[in-house]
A = this chain, B = another copy of it.
Amino acid sequence: MVDVPDIVIGRLPIYLRELTRLAEEENQTTTSSHELGQRLGISSAQIRKDLSHFGEFGKQGTGYHINYLIEQLREILHLTQEWPVALIGAGYLGHALAHYDGFKPRGFVITCVFDNDPRKIGENLNGLVVSDIHDMESIIQEKNIKIAILATPANTAQEITDRLVKAGVKAILNYAPIHLNVPPDVQVSYSDPVVQLQRMTYYLTP
């Protein structure tokens, strides 16, 4: 199969999110690339082209059956199973992530939390007991965890990343404001609010 561009892959979760909204909040059963595009600020042609990489999901005139398209997207994105996730860092951001109720309905469950601060180890975070970061590798391997969320300061992020990779983690969502070096078979996704704000201030009049 020809590789699908990563930018296309990046839009699929947004389609999935909006389709789920249409089904659950608006009780719709069908939609069109036109409607979906209008709701997302994306052209309908782009949506049709993106989806065409994976098959034929809609019919001229009748559009998409929402539940079927949701199912297909969940299969394409490997969301038919629930993914266990390790959370590294039990600071303010770790607390927010541990309490976020948006993970489970969309395919992810934080199953362990780690910190190196003796005052945080043993703390109960929304039902999860914070573990000593010394036990990170053994717990991750035991639970066969492939995904980690990094919510640590920048200065420890690379060292922890190296340990995560050695323990078998293949995808890291990184909140630390630093670029991470990983082997080519490991995915990293970045979330740095300041990078996002600075991109926007370019367009603002000071």
Q: Smallest CB–CB gap between A18 and chain B, Å? A: 6
B residues near A93, Cβ cutoff 8 Å? 96, 100
| A143 interfacial by beta-carbon distance below 8 Å | no
Residues of B within 8 A of A1 (CB): none
- The 8 Å CB contact of A206, one of B40, B81, B206, is B81
Size of chain A's interface in residues, with CB distance under 8 A? 65
* Residues of B with C-beta under 8 A to A17: 177-178, 192, 194-195
Contact A13-B206, Cβ < 8 Å, known A41-B179, A199-B189, A200-B187: no
**Contact B171–A21 (Cβ < 8 Å):** no
CA of A146 to CA of B200 in the docked complex: distance in angstroms? 11
Copies of this protein in the assembly total 2
Given A17-B195, A81-B206, also A201-B92 (CB < 8 A): no
Contacts of A79 in B (CB 8 A): 198, 201
Task: State whether B92 touches A202 (Cβ < 8 A).
Answer: no
8 Å CB contact of A178 from B13, B21, B179, B206: B21
**A64-72, A103-111, A114-122, A127-135: which lies at the interface:** A103-111
Kindly list chain B residues whose C-beta atoms are within 8 Å of the C-beta of A100: 92-93, 193
| Cβ A108 vs Cβ B76 within 8 A | no
Nearest CB of B to A159, in Å: 14
Indicate if the CB atoms of B189 and A191 lie closer than 8 Å.
Answer: no
Residues of chain A whose beta carbon lies under 8 Å from any beta carbon of chain B: 6, 9-10, 12-14, 16-18, 21, 25, 39-41, 76-81, 83, 85, 91-93, 95-97, 99-100, 102-103, 106-108, 146-147, 149, 154-155, 170-171, 173, 177-179, 181, 187, 189, 191-206
Nearest 5 A/B pairs, CB to CB? A13-B198, A171-B200, A92-B96, A189-B196, A187-B200
